[in-house]
Structure 1
Amino acid sequence: MRISTVTMFESSLSSMNRQQGEFMKVGQQIASGRRVVNPSDDPQAASRAVGVSQSMAVSQQYADARVSARNALSQEESVLNSVSDSIASAKTLIVQAGNGTLTDADRASIATELKGIYENLLGQANVTNGNGTYLFGGYKDDAPPFVKNGGEVTYQGSTNVRAQQVDSSRQMPVGNSGKEIFESVHSGAGYVATADAANSGSVIFTGPTRVNAADPGYGEKYTIQFTDGENYQILDEDDNPIKLDRDDNGTPEDTFSYTSGETITFAGISINLEGKPAANDEIALAKAPDRSLFTTLENAIAALDSTTETDAAKASLQNTLSTVSRELDNSLDNVLTVRASVGARLNELDVLDDVGGNRTLNYEQTMSDLVDLDYARAISDYTLRQVGLQASQKAFVDIQGMSLFDQL
């Protein structure tokens, strides 16, 4: 078979170009650090790498969301810490105001301090974050959630709060509404007693105290009503007198004699009464209702700014302070409960960060296995391709010199 000179040249050139292409491909892999530079290098690995890359991007978005959620919750936790300190300070002032040796001027001074705490709490309730949105407004975070109208503070925010997707299966609330913090009590709050504003006697109460929460009547609303200065009845929610066998003689009664300083126990609760009642004086007892912290402080300030020239006025002041003290305790417990919830969410974010970090490491390992370069093998291939290219070039030079004309 006759092989033409053109065929030899074309075959040698084709071989040299092929060797050069393979040499450049290995060089490109080494330069990029990737085994799969183009999808055609390994279509299956390239296809799987696209899916892993998308999963890594989603995981990174969740990580960014957790950073945002952590910033919001950390700021809320800081504010709640200040709120709890303010409530504790108010409680201290209320205890101080209950000292019977204080004058009206002394109590007015305490009221001034309470007004400062009141304004401080209002400012904390309307705090904004770094973006200018109100922290405790819920969905309505573009305006102050607590507005003062006619001396009363009302909540005008939303009861729903924003949530953030911090993981594939976890949507986490990144805040709490102002109503939940400043206008609620925790579920375990007990009874609160309140003296009727129209009372004209000098009865002062202490308590109430929970005795037996399993009592069938525990949790209902009751009213202690004095029929005169010596007798009283206990009315249920429908104003019907309840009957008790207080003397354990087997004969329930609905009217009882009053003795100053006695402790009345019924329906799983007890309350101590002291002083001289007047006819139709009433003391209401009910499970702690949702009460605005600002309303509680407003009642305390109004009571401390009033005069105590009569025994009835003194009793009214002491009863108001007792009610306010119990309500402040409930408010503080509620704030601490919300704060604990914030702390639990921050801890959960830490756990999700660990899980997300491990997941990202797995994605990176999978991606490396699919497309990253084995440098030892690549350098060996690079040297081999270089030798092959040099051999191809040398063969081409030799063939180029093979001509019969050189023999003439």
Structure 2
Amino acid sequence: MRISSFMYIEMMKKSFQDSVSQLFDSQEQLSSGLKINRPSDDISAMGQILGYKVDIANTTQYQKNISAAQSFLQTSDTSMSSVVENLQRIQELMVSGVNGSTDAAGRQNIAAEIATIKESLYSLSLTRLGNRYLFSGSQTYTASFALTGAAASAGGFYTYQGDSTQTSVNVNSTAQVIENISGSDAFAFSLDTTLSIRLTTGRFAHYIPTAGPSNSNMPSAIAVNISNSSSPTAVSLEQVSFSNYMDMVNIIETAFNKDDVDMINAMMKPLLMSLDKVVTVRATIGARLNFLQQTINNNDNNNVDQSTYLSNAQDADIAKVATDISKSEVALQALRQSSAQVMSQTLFDFLSIR
């Protein structure tokens, strides 16, 4: 087979193009620090790289979600800690208030302190993080509670304006965490069945679950009936009801002002149940915070792994790239020299004189 000058030229041209292209690719990797700069370089590897980048971006967003949820829960826990302190102080005052050494004037003094605690509880129910109310369920831009009607001491009561919706945030690809505690959980407890206890005076206190106020989103309320009978359906000597801690404390305050020892004794049971509920709520918050911290650690580890995989898939080996550039430049120079020799020959160089 005869090789023409045209074929020589085509082969040299292709060799030049291949060498220049290889040199360009190596120089691009050196300048970008990446061994894959476009999908056409390696479609399969580019797919892996995009997958790693998506995973890292998602994990970064999960960490932001967790940080926001932690702030929400930690602030909620701080508020609930204060609620516990306030309820415990009321318990101390009630114990001392029914002591035989405390007279009507002393109970009125106690009532004044309880009124202050009631306002503190109301303030805690309106806790905000930024401009979001913590205890309003999904209605985070609506005040959790509002004083309805007259002042509480004059027959007004506190109504819940939020809802019981639980708001969740994604913390990894498979898990969500509830970040809020609704006001119906944080500032109220419910009863499944009627409870009855005997008071020190021989009368009975009956605690009956009822429907919540019609103008409130509280799902339930508790009626407290004092009677001479052990039967909850007997005629009541006194009857009150409440759907949240502020209303409950308001009843206690009124009982102290009226020197109503029976009602003070009767309200001790709901107060203790309130303390139990708040402790349970704090335990729930603590469990969520612990899970969030564990998830942060897992996400951090996952991000490190994904970043390592991404680096292995896309980062260029600079030392190898520099060597490849050197080799390409030498090969290109040799090609130039050899092509100059071949191209300089003519037909006369192949003729012989006999």
Q: TM-score scaled by structure 2? A: 0.78
User: 1:121 — aligned with what?
Assistant: 121
Distance 1:238 1:112, change over 3 A: closer
Tell me if structure 2 keeps the 8 A contact 1:49–1:370.
yes
Percent identical: 24
User: 2:82 — aligned with what?
Assistant: 82
Q: Deviations over 1:123-147 (max 9, x none)?
A: 11011111x1211011222221211
Distance 2:140 2:227 in 1: 46
More off after superposition, 348-357 vs 12-21? 12-21
2:32 partner letter: S
2:197 partner letter: A
User: 1:147 — aligned with what?
Assistant: 146
Distance 1:2 1:203 in 2: 124
User: 1:69 — aligned with what?
Assistant: 69
Question: Is structure 2 residue 276 aligned with structure 1 residue 325?
Answer: no
Distance 1:355 1:135, change over 3 A: same
Question: Is structure 2 residue 297 aligned with structure 1 residue 298?
Answer: no
Distance 1:23 1:370, change over 3 A: same
Q: Deviations over 1:59-83 (max 9, x none)?
A: 3322222222112111111111111
CA drift of 1:102 comes to: 2.8
The 5-angstrom pairing of residues 219-238 of structure 1 reads 226=228, 234-235=230-231
User: 2:327 — aligned with what?
Assistant: 384
User: 2:217 — aligned with what?
Assistant: none
| Runs of at least 5 residues in structure 2 that lack an aligned partner in the other structure | 151-155, 207-222, 349-354
The 5-angstrom pairing of residues 363-402 of structure 1 reads 363-395=306-338
Tell me if structure 1 keeps the 8 A contact 2:34–2:316.
yes
Q: CA RMSD in A?
A: 3.6
User: 2:277 — aligned with what?
Assistant: 334
Distance 2:141 2:276 in 1: 29
Distance 1:52 1:143, change over 3 A: same
Match of 1:358 among 293, 296, 301: 301
Tell me if structure 1 keeps the 8 A contact 2:242–2:248.
no
User: 2:133 — aligned with what?
Assistant: 134
CA drift of 1:348 comes to: 0.8
User: 2:46 — aligned with what?
Assistant: 46
User: 2:216 — aligned with what?
Assistant: none
| Runs of at least 5 residues in structure 1 that lack an aligned partner in the other structure | 196-201, 209-220, 227-232, 240-279, 309-316
Structure 1: 4+ residue segments shifted above 4 A:
1-4, 6-14, 189-192, 204-208, 223-226, 280-284, 396-405
Distance 1:55 1:352 in 2: 15
Distance 1:224 1:140, change over 3 A: closer
User: 2:165 — aligned with what?
Assistant: 160
2:40 partner letter: S
Q: Deviations over 1:282-318 (max 9, x none)?
A: 799xxxx985211221111112112x5xxxxxxxx33
Tell me if structure 1 keeps the 8 A contact 2:204–2:227.
no
Count of residue pairs brought into register by the alignment: 325
The 5-angstrom pairing of residues 301-312 of structure 1 reads 301-306=253-258, 308=259
Distance 1:90 1:224 in 2: 21
SS of the residue aligned with 2:316?
coil
CA drift of 1:344 comes to: 0.3
CA drift of 1:58 comes to: 2.5
Distance 1:305 1:234, change over 3 A: closer
Determine which structure has the larger helix proportion and give its number. Answer: 2
Distance 1:139 1:84 in 2: 24
1:35 partner letter: K
Distance 1:108 1:344 in 2: 41
Q: Deviations over 1:174-217 (max 9, x none)?
A: 11110111111598x9956377xxxxxx9257999xxxxxxxxx
1:359 partner letter: N
Distance 1:328 1:63 in 2: 39
Question: Is structure 2 residue 222 aligned with structure 1 residue 203?
Answer: no
SS of the residue aligned with 2:307?
helix
Tell me if structure 2 keeps the 8 A contact 1:52–1:363.
yes
2:103 partner letter: T
More off after superposition, 296-305 vs 104-113? 104-113
Tell me if structure 1 keeps the 8 A contact 2:205–2:226.
no
Tell me if structure 2 keeps the 8 A contact 1:137–1:143.
yes
Tell me if structure 1 keeps the 8 A contact 2:205–2:227.
no
More off after superposition, 386-395 vs 336-345? 386-395
Distance 1:25 1:224, change over 3 A: closer
Q: TM-score scaled by structure 1? A: 0.69
SS of the residue aligned with 1:167?
coil
SS of the residue aligned with 1:388?
helix
Distance 2:233 2:86 in 1: 38
User: 1:263 — aligned with what?
Assistant: none
1:137 partner letter: S
CA drift of 1:170 comes to: 2.0
Distance 1:162 1:207, change over 3 A: same
1:347 partner letter: N
